[in-house]
A and B are shown apart, each in its own frame.
Chain A
């Protein structure tokens, strides 16, 4: 028969990789391939997913009577990403826009990590938003109340407090899961609401931490000047880019190292892929769940601190109510395949999208500002949908290949017969 077949033949002594094994491997692959893509840092499918989401977003624009090409062009300009293409247009404006994009990217990286880390342990952390809010609250309290400390100490203290607040908040869900088996999806959603109302209570009118000077504003005290994160690009007065971006990138490195190079990360991945096998090798699955959730909370809480110390400087109940960063983190992690580099890439994508569709950027004659923010949400929703569906995409690809193979065989019937 064909020569390549002999090379595939298993050794007679013991079953090697035989035809049937190949076949069963083929039959179960969607999940296996997903795992392989995550491992290999595959980029084709996520990129396709994003493209399709943008395409469908364009269809939505068409349906609502807008010009998708002009809109996407305007969004692109709004992102500031053309700063990287120096020969195009106004570099100063592009720089301003890019600073905005990266300011938005910073917390998205962290809330993305908060979801991705949980995913790697087989947990679904929907509570990034609540953890982010708790982190913001802790940071604003520390940075506005502890006056008189040196700047760096104050900043570090505020960040540590935010990390702890997020860790405790997420840890609650982890403890519930470990001790009672409570589904972390439900408990983290509930904790999102709890965090929201804690914020309302603290900073609302007549709340215990409401602004000391103006009792009509539902907002916290402003953090002290010393606690502002230094701006390294752009004008501090015009909301330039603060060094929080580097903190977020450092967190990405930590994420990668812990997950791939530490025994803890090894345990986390074992628990995520097969909790029963993990238990058999002596790993305490319950403890891992608590630890993983706490680490997720650290990431999300830190995101809150960076926003507060970087550009918000105070926290109002309306800030808390409109916070979406934690929810965007889900899409960021999914599109980024729960990997370190993927999370950074998709955080930039979503940061750019939010910044590009902000009312400040989008020309009302091209796209109604009221619709613009919704467009971001639509694309975000589509990404989540498509990413969850890309097991389907993968199996469709596979089926396509099978059909293609069948056609090839029909066209060349002589092949395989001797």
Chain B
């Protein structure tokens, strides 16, 4: 229970219990929030963070427990109830209308009325400007949502809540979609909101961020509250232990790389993006067997197009891509696969898996045309299952067997299925595109270890990541991509500042 304070807590959840069938999503969870405080809610995927906040926001009804706002017991039946009581929620996936302007999105549902009851656009824009100035939330009121950056969309979501007079702001994994710079900006905004007395729940599983922004941290594990600790004095290790229930290796422990012959050679490659603009502008790079090369860059600097070209998904204008000395540029995915390219795509739901396929079918996606999985165009269903069972065991995939639909697995296990499939094709080059996005600490540890193991198996690994920590701890060499060119090469002991500076185009273009 929370310590007694002079004024009642802005929000108090007591003994919240929520069951889905036999599973307790929340089991007698206590949580309290003071005015002007950032209280982080930390836990692995599936620990019950989102359920707890969905209850607060009226999306679910608790089976037991009570909610108090400013000391008064309330029942929240629906999101509109929650809004009325001053609770604002910024979902992980934004709820914005892409074709409408920033102002229209913010005032939607609470439009200021001018004469004759018509929507007063100017008044709306004025209020938005006022709010945005007050909290340092820079937005362009007249821009359409689809034209503004993800970071600005998130600021719009926050403004939406503030416009409705939210005093309690819930942010669900707000940094998952942001770049490092955008995250820093967000933290500035959160601090100014704090000063204004807004109470903030910050949901995350990123330890560094929690330590940077939170005043207190409540850790959930398997639906139960493990502990609530002040952020001051807590360390990444201590929080990880609370989250996972055991000691976690946060740093990747890896032997020195022993690179040998090249797995991938790219020479003076030019690639167009979907709008026919030059996205990749003549970089050359080599990834050798037995090393992990990280491609670091701010999103949208050509790394996606570069990876797609290597994987055979995108044609090339000019230049050369060779995998294990076989020319593959512009010859399609199958040519790339045959040359030994495997690709863990950045979005496992959209690209990596067919969610309504069984695990056996998903695990065959890369190699279904080769024997023994198929012969003369006919699948060998028995072999599909046998191989699936082997891979599921080897990669420790839990929550289902070969006939389980991929949809029903947790994110971490889905990613393990993707990795298992790609590694099983015995590639020369393994492209790992944001391989740990959205995964929890335990799963990240698994993915990192596996990538190092595959490196030591003599594969070349090309890692594309937006996470500084991941890049620095996993890579043997770091290549910085900026505006479609490789501008710098670093060793992994580079400082975060230096790397960040290079990623934004600073420090000149000196390729080692």
Alpha-carbon distance A2/B313, docked complex (angstroms): 50
Chain A to chain B contacts (Cβ below 8 Å), 24 pairs: A10-B399, A12-B244, A13-B442, A14-B398, A17-B399, A18-B222, A19-B23, A19-B25, A19-B223, A21-B46, A22-B21, A26-B20, A32-B356, A36-B405, A266-B361, A266-B379, A270-B357, A273-B355, A273-B357, A277-B365, A279-B313, A280-B313, A282-B337, A282-B366
Any A CB within 8 A of the CB of B354 = yes
B379 touches A280 (CB 8 A): no
B399 touches A262 (CB 8 A): no
Picked from A5, A17, A263, A280, the residue with its CB within 8 Å of the CB of B410 is A17
Nearest CB in chain A: distance from B221 CB, A: 8
Q: Among B4-12, B47-55, B115-123, B188-196, which stretch is in contact with chain A? A: B47-55
A interface footprint on B263-305 (CB within 8 Å = 1, 0 otherwise): 0000000000000000000000000000000000000000000
Any B CB within 8 A of the CB of A409 = yes
Nearest CB in chain B: distance from A32 CB, A: 6
Any B CB within 8 A of the CB of A4 = yes
Q: Among B146-154, B208-216, B344-352, B473-481, which stretch is in contact with chain A? A: B344-352
Alpha-carbon distance A17/B414, docked complex (angstroms): 11
Q: Provided the pairs A274-B354, A281-B333 are in contact, do residues A9 and B222 lie with their beta carbons within 8 angstroms?
A: yes
Residues of A within 8 A of B24 (CB): 1, 5, 19
Residues of B within 8 A of A18 (CB): 23, 45-47, 222, 410
Residues of B within 8 A of A282 (CB): 312, 332-334, 337, 366
Q: Which of A19, A22, A32, A276 counts the most chain B CB atoms within 10 A?
A: A19
B47 touches A20 (CB 8 A): yes
B377 touches A262 (CB 8 A): yes
B45 touches A263 (CB 8 A): no
B379 touches A263 (CB 8 A): yes
Alpha-carbon distance A23/B23, docked complex (angstroms): 9
Q: How many CB-defined contacts (below 8 Å) exist between A and B?
A: 169
Q: Provided the pairs A19-B23, A22-B21 are in contact, do residues A273 and B313 lie with their beta carbons within 8 angstroms?
A: no
Task: Give residues in B with beta carbon < 8 Å to A.
Answer: 17, 19-27, 44-51, 63-64, 221-223, 244-246, 311-313, 332-334, 337, 343, 345, 350-357, 361, 364-366, 368-369, 374, 377-379, 381, 396, 398-400, 405, 407-413, 416, 440, 442-443, 446
Picked from A1, A15, A273, the residue with its CB within 8 Å of the CB of B45 is A15
Residues of A within 8 A of B21 (CB): 22
Q: Provided the pairs A1-B27, A19-B20 are in contact, do residues A277 and B351 lie with their beta carbons within 8 angstroms?
A: yes
Nearest CB in chain B: distance from A309 CB, A: 30
18 more contacts with CB within 8 A, not counting A280-B343, A282-B366, are A8-B22, A11-B398, A14-B416, A15-B412, A16-B398, A17-B399, A19-B23, A19-B48, A20-B46, A21-B411, A25-B407, A39-B356, A263-B374, A273-B354, A273-B356, A274-B355, A282-B312, A416-B19
Q: Which of A345-360 contact B (CB under 8 A)?
A: none
Q: Provided the pairs A23-B25, A25-B408, A262-B378 are in contact, do residues A281 and B366 lie with their beta carbons within 8 angstroms?
A: yes
B378 touches A263 (CB 8 A): yes
Nearest CB in chain A: distance from B366 CB, A: 6
Shortest Cβ distance from A7 into B: residue: B22
Q: Provided the pairs A15-B46, A19-B25, A21-B46 are in contact, do residues A276 and B351 lie with their beta carbons within 8 angstroms?
A: yes
Alpha-carbon distance A400/B99, docked complex (angstroms): 37
Tell me the interface secondary structure of chain A in the complex: helix
Residues of B within 8 A of A280 (CB): 311, 313, 333, 343, 345, 351-352
Residues of B within 8 A of A276 (CB): 350-351
Any B CB within 8 A of the CB of A264 = yes
Residues of B within 8 A of A266 (CB): 361, 364, 368, 379
The 3 closest A-B pairs by CB, nearest first: A18-B46, A282-B333, A19-B25
Residues of A within 8 A of B440 (CB): 15
B354 touches A19 (CB 8 A): no
B20 touches A23 (CB 8 A): yes
Nearest CB in chain B: distance from A416 CB, A: 6
B51 touches A19 (CB 8 A): yes
Any B CB within 8 A of the CB of A269 = yes
Picked from A16, A20, A22, A25, the residue with its CB within 8 Å of the CB of B50 is A20
A270 touches B379 (CB 8 A): no
Nearest CB in chain B: distance from A155 CB, A: 28
Residues of B within 8 A of A35 (CB): 356, 405
Nearest CB in chain B: distance from A294 CB, A: 16
Alpha-carbon distance A281/B337, docked complex (angstroms): 9
A2 touches B377 (CB 8 A): no
Alpha-carbon distance A8/B442, docked complex (angstroms): 18
B63 touches A416 (CB 8 A): yes
Residues of B within 8 A of A215 (CB): none
Any B CB within 8 A of the CB of A45 = no
B412 touches A14 (CB 8 A): yes
Any B CB within 8 A of the CB of A261 = yes
Picked from B245, B337, B399, B412, the residue with its CB within 8 Å of the CB of A12 is B245
Q: Provided the pairs A2-B22, A13-B442 are in contact, do residues A20 and B45 lie with their beta carbons within 8 angstroms?
A: yes
Q: Which of A276-331 contact B (CB under 8 A)?
A: 276-282
B46 touches A10 (CB 8 A): yes
B377 touches A263 (CB 8 A): yes
Residues of B within 8 A of A25 (CB): 407-408
Residues of A within 8 A of B351 (CB): 276-277, 279-280
Nearest CB in chain A: distance from B370 CB, A: 10
Any B CB within 8 A of the CB of A417 = yes
A416 touches B64 (CB 8 A): yes
Shortest Cβ distance from B357 into A: residue: A273
Residues of A within 8 A of B222 (CB): 9-10, 18-19
Shortest Cβ distance from B46 into A: residue: A18
Alpha-carbon distance A117/B399, docked complex (angstroms): 31
A15 touches B44 (CB 8 A): yes
A263 touches B369 (CB 8 A): yes
Residues of B within 8 A of A15 (CB): 44-46, 410-413, 440, 442-443
Residues of B within 8 A of A22 (CB): 20-21, 23, 25
Alpha-carbon distance A188/B264, docked complex (angstroms): 46
Alpha-carbon distance A10/B397, docked complex (angstroms): 12
Alpha-carbon distance A5/B361, docked complex (angstroms): 30
B379 touches A262 (CB 8 A): yes
Shortest Cβ distance from B380 into A: residue: A261
Residues of A within 8 A of B352 (CB): 277, 280
Alpha-carbon distance A17/B20, docked complex (angstroms): 13
Residues of A within 8 A of B337 (CB): 282
Shortest Cβ distance from A267 into B: residue: B368
B410 touches A16 (CB 8 A): yes
Residues of A within 8 A of B27 (CB): 1
Residues of A within 8 A of B51 (CB): 19-20, 23
B interface footprint on A178-212 (CB within 8 Å = 1, 0 otherwise): 00000000000000000000000000000000000
Q: Which of B24, B396, B400, B410 counts the most chain A CB atoms within 10 A?
A: B410
Residues of A within 8 A of B369 (CB): 263
